[in-house]
């Protein structure tokens, strides 16, 4: 009986560790956040390198909008980029 219980425990541990190894490579990014908003595209592009490092990546600059609750519309506010940790 003891050998059967040990064998079952080892088998279960193997299955669990296999799933952990399988799904470890598909983890979501630890964090992603919006960078500051700049009034021009050139300012945005000039600031992007300061947000790049060995563990962060800044996306391309794009038009940034905010939702205006008074008019129920998106309004242009400038240019921004997203920063993602790796």
Please provide residue 27's backbone torsions phi and psi, each rounded to the nearest 5 degrees.
-75, 150
Q: Round to whole Å and give the CA distance between 70 and 68.
A: 5
pLDDT tens by residue, 26-80: 555 468 899 999 999 999 999 999 999 999 999 999 999 999 999 999 999 999 9
Q: What's the domain count of the chain?
A: 1
pLDDT tens by residue, 10-39: 455 445 544 444 445 555 546 889 999 999
Residue 79 token pair: 């240019």
- Beta-carbon contacts of 35 under 8 Å, excluding residues fewer than 6 positions away, are 47, 48, 51, 58, 80, 81, 82, 83
Domain range for 49 is: 2-85
Residue 77 host element (H or E):
strand 73-80
């Amino acid at each position: 009986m003891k050998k059967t219980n040990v064998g079952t425990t080892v088998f279960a541990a193997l299955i669990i560790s296999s799933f952990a190894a399988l799904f470890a490579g598909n983890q979501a990014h630890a964090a992603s956040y919006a960078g500051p908003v700049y009034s021009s595209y050139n300012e945005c592009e000039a600031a992007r390198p300061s947000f790049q490092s060995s563990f962060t990546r800044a996306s391309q600059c794009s038009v940034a909008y905010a939702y205006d609750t008074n008019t129920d519309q998106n309004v242009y506010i400038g240019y921004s980029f997203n920063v993602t940790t790796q």
